[in-house]
Amino acid sequence: MNSFGWPEFFFILRSAGWTLLLTAVAFLIGGALGAALAIMRLSANRVLSGFASGYILTIQSIPVLMVLFMSYYGLSLFGIRLPAFFAASLSLSIYVSAYLAEIWRGSIESVPFQQWEASSSLALTKGQQYRYVILPQAVRIALPPTVGFLVQLVKNTSIVSVVGFVELSRAGALVNQATFLPFQVFSVVAAIYFVICFPLSRLSRHLEKVMNVGRSH
Q: Which residues bind other proteins (CB under 8 A)?
A: 58, 61-66, 69-70, 73-74, 76-77, 99, 102-103, 114-115, 117-126, 128, 132-133, 136-137, 140, 145, 148-149, 151-152, 155-156, 158-159, 161-162, 169, 172-173, 176, 182-183, 186-187, 189-190, 193-194, 197-198, 201, 214, 217
CB of 48 to other proteins, least distance (A): 19
Of the pair 10, 76, the CB lying nearest other proteins is at 76
Q: Do the Cβ atoms of 188 and 12 come closer than 8 Å? A: yes
Of the pair 31, 148, the CB lying nearest other proteins is at 148
DSSP characters for 107-134? HHHHS-HHHHHHHHHTT--HHHIIIIII
Of the pair 73, 86, the CB lying nearest other proteins is at 73
Query: Rounded CA gap, 92 and 27, in Å?
Result: 8
**167 phi/psi in degrees, rounded to 5:** -100, -165
Q: Do the Cβ atoms of 179 and 4 come closer than 8 Å? A: yes
Q: What is the CA radius of gyration of the chain?
A: 21
Of the pair 36, 118, the CB lying nearest other proteins is at 118
What number of residues does the chain have?
217
Query: Rounded CA gap, 55 and 161, in Å?
Result: 25
**10 Å Cβ neighbour count for 117?**
10
Of the pair 89, 158, the CB lying nearest other proteins is at 158
CB of 61 to other proteins, least distance (A): 4
CB of 189 to other proteins, least distance (A): 6
CB of 46 to other proteins, least distance (A): 19
CB of 211 to other proteins, least distance (A): 11
